[in-house]
């Protein structure tokens, strides 16, 4: 059985977020939480929050949906974890001779899929 959690429009570039997300792919969910707790990156907090949400989704589905009653929430493993680009906010900063240079405020979506298999 698979469960997932998605965090949308996180104000951090997908490139920076992917560095954190790659660390937890294939790990058991409990171990992935421990790895993220000691990772000194801003993106680790967002990924940890999404992982916690995915684990809570698994427990909620187990309690309320009969097709998920067989899921083993203590044996959850991170099957997929990835960060995709979201919308970019464009701003401009003043440059020499009256011109303008772009500032790209990038954001991303984080998706974590857990499985008990």
Chunked into runs of 10 residues, the chain (117 residues) has average pLDDT values of 95 96 95 96 96 96 92 93 96 97 97 93
Ordered structural domains, the chain, with CATH: 2-115 (3.90.470.10)
Q: Could you tell me the two tokens for 88?
A: 């970019």
Taking the CB of residue 18, how many other CB atoms lie within 10 A of it?
16
Give me the pLDDT at residue 47, please: 97
Model pTM above 0.85: yes
Question: How high is the pLDDT of residue 14?
Answer: 95
Whether 5 contacts 116, CB under 8 Å: no
Q: Given this model, what pLDDT does residue 55 score?
A: 96
Q: What is the pLDDT of residue 96?
A: 97
Q: What is the pLDDT of residue 1?
A: 87
Q: What is the pLDDT of residue 105?
A: 97
- H/E stretch holding 38: none
Are 112 and 80 in contact by the 8 Å Cβ rule? The answer is: yes
Q: How confident is the model at residue 34, as a pLDDT? A: 96
CA 31 to chain centre: 16
Q: What is the pLDDT of residue 43?
A: 95
């Amino acid at each position: 059985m698979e469960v997932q959690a998605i965090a949308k429009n996180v104000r951090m570039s997908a490139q920076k977020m992917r560095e954190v997300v790659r660390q937890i792919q294939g790990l058991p969910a409990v171990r992935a939480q421990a790895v993220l707790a000691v990772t000194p990156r801003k993106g680790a907090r967002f990924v940890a929050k999404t992982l916690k949400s995915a684990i809570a989704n698994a427990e909620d589905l187990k309690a309320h949906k009969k097709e998920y009653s067989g899921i083993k929430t203590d044996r959850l493993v991170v099957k997929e974890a990835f960060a995709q680009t979201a919308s970019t906010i464009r701003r401009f900063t003043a440059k020499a001779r009256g011109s303008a240079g772009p500032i790209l405020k990038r954001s991303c979506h984080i998706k974590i899929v857990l499985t008990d298999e």
